[in-house]
A and B are shown apart, each in its own frame.
Chain A
Amino acid sequence: MAEETLSRDGSHDQAPVVVFDHVSITFDLKPVLDDISFTVAPGETRIILGPAGGGKSVLMKLTNGLLRPDSGSIHVFGEEISSMRERDIFRLRARIGMVFQESALFDSLSVENNVAYRLHEERVPEEEAHARVVEALKFVELEKAIQKFPPELSGGMRRRVSIARAIISRPDLILYDSPTGGLDPITSTTIIELVMKQRDVSHTTSLLITHRLQDAFTLAMHRFNPQTGAMEPLPNGGVDESTKFLVLNEGKVVFDGTTRELVRSTDPWLREYLS
Chain B
Amino acid sequence: MPFSPEDFAKQKIAAIQDYSILSWQAISDIFSRPRYWADIFTQMDSIGVGSTPIVVLTGFFTGCVLALQSATSLKAFGAVSMTGNLVALSMVKELGPVLTGLMVSGRNASGMASEIGSMKVTEQIDAMRALGTDPVRKLITPRLYATIFMLFFLTILSDAVGIAGGALVSVALLGLNPSSYFSNSYRALEYADIVQGLTKPIFSAFIIATVGCYFGMSTKGGTQGVGRSTTQAVVVSSVFIIIVDFLVSRAMIGVFGR
Contact = CB atoms under 8 A, between A and B. Distances in A.
A100 interface: yes
Contact of A93 (B34, B123, B132): B132
A40 to B, nearest CB: 18
Interface in A92-122: 93-94, 96, 98, 100-102, 104-107, 117-118, 121
Contacts of A98: 127, 130
Contacts of B130: 64, 66, 93, 96, 98, 100
A90 interface: yes
A98 to B, nearest CB: 4
A90 B124 CA distance: 16
Interface string B116-137: 0001001110111111111000
A104 B124 contact: yes
Contacts of A86: 134
B150 to A, nearest CB: 21
A130 interface: no
A61 interface: yes
A100 B123 contact: yes
B198 to A, nearest CB: 34
Contacts of A101: 123
Interface residues of A, number: 22
Contact of A121 (B119, B122, B124, B132): B132
A61 B130 CA distance: 9
Interface in A136-187: 165
A105 B131 CA distance: 11
A118 B128 CA distance: 9
B123 A102 contact: yes
Interface string A69-99: 0000000000000000011001101101010
Interface string B128-158: 1111111000000000000000000000000
Contacts of B126: 61, 66, 100, 104
Nearest to B133: A121
Interface centre among B34, B124, B132, B133 (most CB of A within 10 A): B132
Contacts of B122: 102, 104, 107
B132 A104 contact: no
Contact of B132 (A90, A100, A107, A165): A90
A103 B173 CA distance: 62
A66 B124 CA distance: 12
Interface in A230-267: none
Interface in B74-132: 119, 122-124, 126-132
Contacts of A87: 134
A117 B131 contact: yes
Contacts of A106: 119, 124, 127-128
B131 A100 contact: no
A66 B125 CA distance: 10
Contacts of B132: 90-91, 93-94, 118, 121
Contact of B127 (A91, A94, A104): A104
Contacts of B124: 104-107
A104 B134 contact: no
Interface of A: 61, 64, 66, 86-87, 90-91, 93-94, 96, 98, 100-102, 104-107, 117-118, 121, 165
Interface pairs A-B: 9 shortest CB-CB: A104-B127, A104-B123, A98-B130, A93-B132, A90-B132, A100-B123, A118-B131, A94-B132, A104-B124
Interface of B: 34, 119, 122-124, 126-134
29 contacts: A61-B126, A66-B126, A66-B129, A86-B134, A90-B129, A90-B134, A91-B132, A93-B130, A93-B132, A98-B127, A100-B123, A100-B126, A100-B127, A100-B130, A101-B123, A102-B122, A102-B123, A104-B123, A104-B126, A105-B124, A106-B124, A106-B127, A107-B122, A107-B124, A117-B131, A117-B133, A121-B34, A121-B131, A165-B131
Given A102-B122, A118-B132, 20 more contacts: A61-B126, A66-B126, A90-B129, A93-B129, A93-B131, A93-B132, A98-B127, A100-B130, A102-B123, A104-B122, A104-B123, A104-B127, A106-B124, A106-B127, A107-B124, A117-B131, A117-B133, A121-B34, A121-B131, A165-B131
